[in-house]
Amino acid sequence: MAQPTNTYAVNDMAGVREDLANVIYDVSPVETPFLSMAKKGRINDVTFDWQVDALASASSTNFVIEGDDATTDASTATTRRSNVACISDKVARTTGTARAVNTAGRSDEHDYQVMKRGKELKRDIESILLANNAKVTGNDSTARETAGVPAWLITNTDFASDGADATGDGTDARTDGTQRAFTESQFKSVLQQIWNSGGSASIAMVGGFNRQVASTFTGNASKDQRADDKTLHASFTFYESDFGVAKWVPNRFMRSRDCLILDPEYWEVGFMPGRNMSTTELAKTGDSDQTQILCEYGLKALNEKSSGMVADLTTS
């Protein structure tokens, strides 16, 4: 059926105002689980140190003869660890015209861009802290780098036969091996290792694929469902093992080939004073405005025996 002759329709018109919603829709993830759960501290130098220690092994033969002279037990020194503070930044630059025009969904284009750069910087920091990366001291031509979580974990680990742990002092990264499927036995093995070392890890952090794999773990529990329950329960949040309860935490910004089993009490992110997401208006060099968001920070593995990892996992 045709439109009647000389009927004036929208397609014939000029000057129709655009219908642009005054909202900007963005589903980019901004959750940073590790950065949120780790302790926050202060560092005062580009290289910062801390100490770790351990008790002597328990003895089942500590029997003393009545009246005997006391024997001095051997003392051991603490172990000193160090890492390097790195600098990460984002810069937003917007022209004067871009700030003057009438925009939808934000009142000022530069403020909006600064807000985006801040969220992006936070995601970068999360990725850096969880990277298999060795510390780099840096110089006039090389940026400093902080050693990430996998570079510290050496005591409680499970990895492929051709993989290898790092030295454990942040000076090198671990050696990745051939990827293999994530299994419950691997996970339980590391939980036991952590317990044997004196730790009590409460977080199991994984990427999206292996979070789904973890949902298939059965443990020793039987599963049932009430007849009047119309919800299909295909996942669980907590894994109760013989050595404690661990919460599954999916993380989009970690290496998807790792499962990090962590005690947040023994991980700290230190920030330089006044340089934790600091915002600075940079000098104008023309008809534009520049804002730098900067963070200077580093990771402390306060005692890596508190945590562990299952490495070299398949990701698809």
What is residue 262's three-state secondary structure? Answer: strand
Strands 267-271 and 308-310: unpaired
If you average pLDDT over residues 19-41, what whole number do you get?
89
- pLDDT exceeds cutoff 90 at 19: no
pLDDT for 75-110, tens place per residue? 999 999 999 999 999 999 999 999 999 999 999 999
Instruction: Enter the tokens of residue 254.
Output: 């970690």
Give the pLDDT confidence score for residue 15 in this predicted structure: 82
CA distance 194 to 261: 9
Average pLDDT value over all residues in the chain: 93
Contact residues for 315 (Cβ-Cβ < 8 A; gap 6+): 179, 207, 209, 210, 256, 257
pLDDT, tens digit, for every residue of 234-255? Answer: 567 999 999 999 999 999 999 9
Q: What is the pLDDT of residues 194-225, one digit of tens each?
A: 999 999 999 999 999 999 999 999 874 444 55
Across 173-179, average pLDDT: 98
Q: What is the pLDDT of residues 148-172, one digit of tens each?
A: 999 999 999 999 999 999 999 999 9
Please report the pLDDT score of residue 156 as a whole number.
98
Domain boundaries, the chain: 33-51+79-219+234-310
Which residues, at least 6 apart from 209, have a Cβ–Cβ distance to it below 8 Å?
256, 314, 315, 316
For every residue of 148-214, DSSP letters joined together read -GGGT--SSEE--TT-B---SSSSSPPBP---B---HHHHHHHHHHHHHTT----EEEE-HHHHHHH
pLDDT at 230: 59
Higher pLDDT, 15 or 257: 257
Averaged over 173-202, what is the pLDDT? 97
Mean pLDDT of 178-205: 97
Which range among 24-33, 214-223, 253-262 has the greatest average pLDDT?
253-262
Per-residue pLDDT at 124 exceeds 60: yes
**DSSP code, position 276:** S
Here the contacts of 77-81 (C-beta below 8 Å, separation 24 or greater) are 78/51, 78/52, 78/53, 79/51, 79/52, 79/53, 80/49, 80/50, 80/51, 81/49, 81/50, 81/51, 81/52, 81/169, 81/170, 81/300, 81/301
- Residues sharing a CB contact under 8 Å with residue 298, sequence separation 6 or more, in sequence order: 43, 48, 83, 84, 85, 86, 146, 269, 270
The predicted pLDDT at position 222 comes to: 43
- Residue 38 has what pLDDT? 97
191 touches 158 (CB < 8 A): no
Q: Using an 8 Å Cβ cutoff, are 137 and 109 in contact?
A: no
Question: Is residue 310 classed as helix, strand or coil in its secondary structure?
Answer: strand
